[in-house]
Amino acid sequence: MTPSASPPLAPSERLLCGPGPTNVDPAALAAMQRPMLGHMDPELHEIISEVVRMLRLVYKAPEGLVLPLQATGTTGMETGLLNLTEPGDTVVVGASGYFGRRLIEIARRAGCEVVEVVEDWGVHVPNERLLEALDAHPETALLAVVHGETSTGSLHPLAVLGEALKDRPGTLLMADCVTTLGGTTIDVGGWGVDYAYSCTQKCVGSAPGMSPVAVSEAAIERFEVRATPVPFSFDFDLLRKYWVGRPAAYHHTAPILHIYALYEVLRETLTEGVDERCARHVAAGTHLQQRVRDAGLDLLAEPEHQLAQLSAVKVPGGVDGKSVAAELLTEHGIEIGGGLPGAPAMWRIGLMGPNATEATADRVCDALIGVLEAKDAPISA
Ligand SMILES: Cc1ncc(COP(=O)(O)O)c(C=O)c1O
């Protein structure tokens, strides 16, 4: 048999309105077609230094270490736990969804004693419960929460938690900002967050493949004095010698085209204004949520803790949620998400990065309501 090549790549155009990835900002796509530089080229190192400078502004992290890991959100989570804890350390985790549970799982695998503070899907974990857990475990090395729980659409009151932890300097505050960076106000420096990690494929509006992180001075001290080594690929001490140290020291081959893409979306974010970009996400999400409620559908998250950029819509009784999502994809070219394992039946609609507009919200709502009406679903639209 003659070996034959596959046909040329021709992925379909989709409107990506699930929990992420979102559609890539055209400026990021264009950036990925610029000439490649070598990973030890000083010109690339200048570009990286600019990426780090701009990331500091987006995270509002004037101090400490800021860099984009060559990783996804999950690896950002794991890298933090591996650097900032040692086996046997007590870690308190607030979890009320899939990603909080993932934090628990990864902390356990890192050898930590995990104290779980758990609430039901869509119910945020009250800060009072987290502080009670710290009172019961004053030896706690690190407290971790999910700022924006993408599996439920719930927003954690992180600023208030950060304030409450300021008189507990022995406990580092770690926040999952995978869904919030670039879409919800984050003030790493002001709120006293010791470790924040994110991704590039959601509100930042670039391609998946990088995990921007911010590490406080207190967290840096923690990894500098550790007794046990961090696995090589995750070691902040080695990573910073490439991303921040100059001249740069080789650690791994950097994802050069992803760095270009990140550079461009950060530039766009600062040109738009970080707060203005977050306000755009709030306006789009609020519009979508109002239309969902007007159609007689219910949201999973508590209204006062509703994330803007991710709306978890409960699937009405008698409706096959998966077939509705499949029809949106095949008939309308619109991707929305479903519930993650263990979650109640839901659709997860994301308006992130370039898709955080009221026009996109209307396009998704019109299509969803049209599909539901055609199925005689119990809605009031
Ligand atoms: C809140 C949250 N944390 C962590 C992750 C994991 O990120 P990734 O899929 O990029 O590894 C996700 C992914 O959707 C997420 O939404």
Are 176 and 147 spatial neighbours (Cβ–Cβ below 8 Å)?
Answer: yes
Ligand 1: centre distance to CA 178 (Å): 6
pLDDT on residue 90: 98
Residue position matching structure tokens 């999502």: 325
* Distance separating alpha carbons of residues 297 and 313, to the nearest angstrom: 7
* pLDDT tens profile 21-76: 999 999 999 999 999 999 999 999 999 999 999 999 999 999 999 999 999 999 99
Are 223 and 83 spatial neighbours (Cβ–Cβ below 8 Å)?
Answer: yes
pLDDT on residue 3: 83
pLDDT on residue 377: 79
Ligand 1: centre distance to CA 77 (Å): 9
pLDDT on residue 378: 77
* Element holding 214 (H helix, E strand): strand 211-215
Can you tell me which atom of ligand 1 is nearest the CA of 149? 1
Our answer on whether the CB atom of 78 is closer than 6 Å to any ligand 1 atom is no
The pTM of this model reads: 0.97
Ligand 1 pocket test, pick from 75, 77, 99, 197 with the greatest ligand atom count within 8 Å of Cβ, gives 99
Q: Burial of 184 by CB count in 10 Å (0-12 exposed, 13-18 middle, 19+ buried)?
A: buried
Our answer on whether the CB atom of 98 is closer than 6 Å to any ligand 1 atom is no
* Distance separating alpha carbons of residues 188 and 223, to the nearest angstrom: 19
Can you tell me which atom of ligand 1 is nearest the CA of 151? 16
* Distance separating alpha carbons of residues 118 and 306, to the nearest angstrom: 18
Of residues 242 and 1, more confidently modeled: 242
Our answer on whether the CB atom of 18 is closer than 6 Å to any ligand 1 atom is no
* Element holding 130 (H helix, E strand): helix 127-136
Ligand 1 pocket test, pick from 125, 145, 151, 178 with the greatest ligand atom count within 8 Å of Cβ, gives 178
Ligand 1 pocket test, pick from 158, 199, 200, 203 with the greatest ligand atom count within 8 Å of Cβ, gives 199
Residue 319, pLDDT above cutoff 80: yes
pLDDT on residue 1: 62
Alpha helices (H) in 18-72, listed in sequence order: 26-31, 42-59
Nearest to 242 by CA among 35, 37, 49, 58: 49
Mean pLDDT of the chain: 97
Nearest to 176 by CA among 224, 210, 131, 211: 211
Can you tell me which atom of ligand 1 is nearest the CA of 97? 1
Our answer on whether the CB atom of 72 is closer than 6 Å to any ligand 1 atom is yes
For 134, phi then psi, to 5°, come to -70, -35
Our answer on whether the CB atom of 20 is closer than 6 Å to any ligand 1 atom is yes
Q: Burial of 57 by CB count in 10 Å (0-12 exposed, 13-18 middle, 19+ buried)?
A: middle
C-alpha distances (whole Å) from 300 to each of 41, 313, 377 are: 49, 6, 19
* Element holding 143 (H helix, E strand): strand 142-146
